[in-house]
Structure 1
Amino acid sequence: MKKIFLLSVMLLSSFTIAQKVGGDKDAHGCIGSAGYTYSQIKNDCLRIFEQKIKLNEVKPKGSSTSMTAVIFSKDMKKAEIFLPEQNKGSLILTKLGKGKAWKNGNYILVPYKKTGYQLKKDNVVIYQ
């Protein structure tokens, strides 16, 4: 009887754990445990680490560094960034006039060297 009870408990707990894996869909249906985040510009779930434009943290506060990704709208008028401290999703920056800079509040994204970008907050480079 003890063996049957133990087997039942093990089976039930493994079933419960299996339900939790991937069961963390957000309001858009993106599964965070699989690395997916919702993109406002793409209107779809994506993995930040798979994006073409990735920027690394310039001065990490701890022993590890973070990264962000940049996604541009097709017309290049908007740029979407995914910051670790932005718990509510991404941040949309809007192109400033005809220049090559995108801004939202204290954040500004500017070209860096020939093929990269810098993200500044309060005029301090935080990602490049």
Structure 2
Amino acid sequence: MKKLYLLAVLAVGFVSCDYILKDRDDSNGEVRTDTVVAVGNDKDAQGCVTSAGYRWSDLKRECVRVYDVGYRLNSIDELEEDGSMYSAFVLFEDEGDRAELFLPDGSKSIMLKREGKDKPYVNNRWQLTPGKGYRLSKSGTVLYAGAPTVEKLVTGSDNPEN
């Protein structure tokens, strides 16, 4: 008998919660079904869907996923501390001397320009230096590095076994 009573109370609870949580038209109590939920409706000012990883690129003049098309630069501090990884990304102009820098905490990209081949890309305090991989410095301090450079900066050697 107690089980039957408990079952009846639970059934009434479920039915009442269902009734309370539905969106109803106030005039006649009917459930409204005209509500449309837009998925991926978090576009930025340029129309890029940020929840899907898209950011506006001034260099490419379109929405891009920088982690798909950009060159990854890993944070030197986080590599040394073995912490969580935040990467910067760089997009390069196909036939030119410009690069676009995307920082992990920045909402707007930074345009970099170089004076010639094998010269660093610069913008005020930022400098992207080519070599075996790229190194990104701010005011002379290396903050991010690309693949081959990372091993040397962390271990002090080009040999990954050291």
TM-score norm. by structure 1 comes to 0.79
> Aligned ranges for residues 1-128 of structure 1 at < 5 Å?
2=16, 5-6=19-20, 8-9=22-23, 18-19=37-38, 21-60=39-78, 63-87=83-107, 89-113=108-132, 116-128=133-145
Per-residue Cα deviation, 1:51-106 (whole angstroms, up to 9, x for no partner): 2511111113893121111111122310001002323x110001134542110010
Identify the structure with the greater helix proportion: 2
Aligned residues: 121
CA RMSD, 1 decimal: 2.8
Per-residue Cα deviation, 1:23-50 (whole angstroms, up to 9, x for no partner): 1101111001111111111111111211
TM-score norm. by structure 2 comes to 0.64
Query: Distance in 1 between the 2:88 and 2:103 partners?
Result: 6
Query: Distance in 1 between the 2:129 and 2:122 partners?
Result: 9
Alpha-carbon contact 2:126-2:138 (below 8 Å) kept: yes
Query: Distance in 2 between the 1:51 and 1:39 partners?
Result: 11
Structure 2: runs of 5 or more not aligned: 1-14, 24-30, 146-162
Identify the structure with the greater strand proportion: 1
Flag the structure with more relative contact order, 1 or 2, with Cα contacts below 8 A and sequence separation at least 6: 1
Structure 1: runs of 5 or more not aligned: none
Query: Distance in 2 between the 1:5 and 1:71 partners?
Result: 53
Query: Distance in 1 between the 2:131 and 2:75 partners?
Result: 14
| Paired amino acid for 1:23 | N
Alpha-carbon contact 2:127-2:136 (below 8 Å) kept: yes
| Paired amino acid for 2:22 | S
Q: Quick check: 62-71 or 118-127, which moved more?
A: 62-71
Cα drift, residue 124 of structure 1: 1.1
Misfit runs of 4+, over 6 Å: none
Q: Quick check: 91-100 or 34-43, which moved more?
A: 91-100
